[in-house]
Structure 1
Amino acid sequence: MANRVKQIHNFGQSIWLDFIDRKIMDSGELQKLIDEDGVRGITSNPAIFEKAISSSSDYDEDIKKLAKEDKTDEEIFYGLAVSDIQRAADLFKPVYEEEIRGADGYVSLEVSPHLALDTEGTINQARELWKAVDRDNVMIKIPGTEPGLAAIQTAISEGINVNVTLLFGLDRYEAVTDAYISGLEARLAAGQPIDGIASVASFFLSRIDVMVDPLLDEKGLGDLKGEVAIASARKAYEIYKRVFGSERFAKLKEKGAKPQRLLWASTSSKNPAIPDTKYVEELIGPETVDTVPMETLEAFRDHGVAENRLETNLDQATAILEKLKTGGIDLDAITQKLEDEGIDKFNKPYDKLLAAINAQKKALEAV
């Protein structure tokens, strides 16, 4: 039987892996995922790196070396991360250089989550990381917070590929598309090429349901459990098609601009009552990306069903969001709360990561 994960690509969606460490590259497992499952990119975040660095000795020598250069804990982390991202980007270079160059093959590295509400700090670090990684097929992750919008626009205008992260709400998503297009327009106005720039907007899914589902029973809407995030994603795709089918974007498309694809993130089921492949299966559709953790990829490989479902039940998606409103559930307030908590959820593993590096640094110095 054909590989189920690979079948997803037949419907115009790219599967990226939400995981990175040295072991997966050293063992050849990542190359196997590229070859056999058709994995077409990688995303990383502080929690992923924290787990990789604190749970193995693979990074000890580099930590020791960087510590001797009087680097701060954060500088040591980015030294390790940049090295891993470069290796992964080189593994994905053949995917990046396929017939439609730059359609896929991207590896994402995140700016410090402490900068989520700092526009200038984000811009400066995005520039530094882009220069340090020095690979065309890398994306710098910038949170889609309100202060992040100007940073996204500036980064795009400077030719930096951007993965916009931490998106929950539809209004904010539309603002992100405007930041992307404005960045392209500014770059074009400055006489710079725009045909080599790529961006994705990462729309977080299962966390929406985790927060909304407990409220549904209270409002007599229990039948909508596990459906609100998917309905939101379908409405986001409607926005995507409208924005990137507009006359405004058509002018940029003539100069080689690519649409900023929607990327489905947080696609593992947090609720045991929801099937483990649901968030993947329901949102397969053209011109999209889905970034999946390893366990979700393995689950889909085992029993997932690949079908083009993204634009089915659009009327139902509209009705679901309308029911929330009439039921007194404020989805905008919920998505803002998720963004605020999301910043905190990224800060904690980041701080834990820096503490782990500090501990390993001291332990290695004592040897």
Structure 2
Amino acid sequence: MTRENSIFGALALGQSIWCDFLSRELLRSGKLDEMIEAGVRGVTTNPSIFENAIGKTSDYDGDILSLVRQGKNREEIYTSLTVADVREAADRFLPVYNESAGRDGFVSLEVSPLLAHDAEGTVSEAQTLARLTEKKNVMIKIPATPEGMKAIRRCIALGINVNATLIFSREQYGEVAEAFIAGLEDRSAEGKPVSGIASVASLFVSRVDTAVDKLLASGNCGGSLAGKIAVDNARAVYMDFETLFSGLRWRSLEEKGAQVQRPLWASTGTKNPGYSPTLYVDSLIGPHTVNTIPPATLEAFLATGTVGMTVSSDREGLKHRLGELKALGISLDEVTGRLLKEGLDAFEKAYILLLEGIEKKGQSLSG
């Protein structure tokens, strides 16, 4: 595979491309190996992804039957199946992890969505998942709720790699970055090393345009802002990243070997067919960033993507557009707050559907 494709082009500008999907079929068919050869440097998962992979295929039926016969309940079966896939994927990405000195090659596994408002429960499950996967290149995904922030800080202090997920706003991002930095400071204060701990802050992108565009259309004004606010929001977060990880406070940790918590652009598949299929990839390329891309968008980026240093582009324009949005009476904070709730609800629903599906499959297969 040539190293001259758009994925390697983005990497040359400091961005790692990860795949936002994992399944047994992807692992066993050789498709994941092809992605790695093409430059993909990590994988993210979530309950919706596993609901599609496990609940809607027969690929896991043999394992489900075996686990049912062992007396495992549906939650234990879910954990066993997902941990097995994540461990296998982590092994595939281990060369990337080693080559990048521990800055890439990660596979993410999410804690139960039912724990989104339970800091203590989240920390406990994060420790369990880290122990079960037992791979240095696994990240535990924790939703960026108020209780999730506490869990993120504690997990970083414990030395667990964390993918802080379901971030929609600049305020959320700032709190996640603070939790990460404070967690490293807690760890350092305990006399423990801060090197070798990796983290990303996953900002969901396309859903912001989906929500804002509807409000713009209903108001019959601000049409020029359509398809612009999601990228502006992400670029504003990147500005905050540059500030937070350049001051004296961060430098003191960096001198001890700490690595930055990279902004990760999530939900980057284009939902509006009128927009470019690579809009949320082409527009957000730059140093110390990750873009986790669904397979279809990944193919489009390889075929027609445009590579350039874009994440810091048009800063005056973004300030103007965000100000114009506010002047129209549209509160971006209200939009992102609603999106967080909807995201939490969607992941919880997918998780429960998957557990119910596993239970039904188990009963049917063992019947």
Q: Map 1:164-183 to 2 at 5 A.
A: 164-183=164-183
Q: What is the aligned partner in structure 2 of residue 25 from structure 1?
A: 27
Q: What is the aligned partner in structure 1 of residue 240 from structure 2?
A: 239
Is 1:10 the counterpart of 2:12? The answer is: yes
2: CA distance between counterparts of 1:290 and 1:328?
Answer: 31
Q: What is the aligned partner in structure 1 of residue 199 from structure 2?
A: 199
Q: What is the aligned partner in structure 1 of residue 125 from structure 2?
A: 125
For residue 131 of structure 1, what is the amino acid of its counterpart? R
1: CA distance between counterparts of 2:343 and 2:56?
Answer: 24
| Local SS of the residue matching 1:136 | coil
For residue 20 of structure 1, what is the amino acid of its counterpart? L
Is 1:72 the counterpart of 2:68? The answer is: no
For residue 316 of structure 1, what is the amino acid of its counterpart? G
Q: Map 1:141-290 to 2 at 5 A.
A: 141-217=141-217, 218=219, 220-290=221-291
Q: What is the aligned partner in structure 1 of residue 348 from structure 2?
A: 347
For residue 226 of structure 1, what is the amino acid of its counterpart? G
Tell me if structure 2 keeps the 8 A contact 1:187–1:193: yes
2: CA distance between counterparts of 1:272 and 1:224?
Answer: 17
For residue 209 of structure 1, what is the amino acid of its counterpart? D
Deviations 1:228-249 (A, max 9, x none): 0100101100000000001101
2: CA distance between counterparts of 1:83 and 1:203?
Answer: 27
Is 1:95 the counterpart of 2:96? The answer is: yes
How far did residue 55 of structure 1 move?
A: 2.7
> Which 4+ runs in 1 deviate beyond 3 A?
none
1: CA distance between counterparts of 2:179 and 2:56?
Answer: 38
How far did residue 54 of structure 1 move?
A: 2.2
1: CA distance between counterparts of 2:220 and 2:315?
Answer: 23
2: CA distance between counterparts of 1:287 and 1:219?
Answer: 38
2: CA distance between counterparts of 1:130 and 1:148?
Answer: 17
How far did residue 219 of structure 1 move?
A: 5.7
Deviations 1:265-320 (A, max 9, x none): 00011111111100000001111000000000001111111111111101111111
For residue 348 of structure 2, what is the amino acid of its counterpart? N
Deviates more, 1:198-207 or 1:344-353: 344-353
1: CA distance between counterparts of 2:220 and 2:134?
Answer: 52
1: CA distance between counterparts of 2:53 and 2:8?
Answer: 26
Q: What is the aligned partner in structure 1 of residue 107 from structure 2?
A: 107
Deviates more, 1:132-141 or 1:313-322: 313-322
How far did residue 51 of structure 1 move?
A: 1.0
For residue 244 of structure 1, what is the amino acid of its counterpart? F
2: CA distance between counterparts of 1:187 and 1:69?
Answer: 40
Deviations 1:192-245 (A, max 9, x none): 111010000000001011111111231610111010010010110000000000
Deviations 1:56-114 (A, max 9, x none): 2221121112112222211100100000000000000000000x411100000000111
Q: What is the aligned partner in structure 1 of residue 300 from structure 2?
A: 299
2: CA distance between counterparts of 1:216 and 1:61?
Answer: 49
Q: What is the aligned partner in structure 2 of residue 49 from structure 1?
A: 50
For residue 10 of structure 2, what is the amino acid of its counterpart? I
| Local SS of the residue matching 2:103 | coil
Tell me if structure 2 keeps the 8 A contact 1:157–1:183: yes
2: CA distance between counterparts of 1:315 and 1:83?
Answer: 47
Q: What is the aligned partner in structure 1 of residue 333 from structure 2?
A: 332
Is 1:139 the counterpart of 2:133? The answer is: no
Q: What is the aligned partner in structure 1 of residue 324 from structure 2?
A: 323
2: CA distance between counterparts of 1:346 and 1:56?
Answer: 19
2: CA distance between counterparts of 1:50 and 1:19?
Answer: 11
Q: TM-score, normalised by structure 1?
A: 0.97
1: CA distance between counterparts of 2:56 and 2:176?
Answer: 36
Gaps (5+ residues) in structure 2?
A: none
For residue 286 of structure 1, what is the amino acid of its counterpart? P
2: CA distance between counterparts of 1:172 and 1:25?
Answer: 34
What percent of counterpart residues are identical?
Answer: 47
| Local SS of the residue matching 2:351 | helix
For residue 147 of structure 1, what is the amino acid of its counterpart? E
For residue 197 of structure 2, what is the amino acid of its counterpart? I
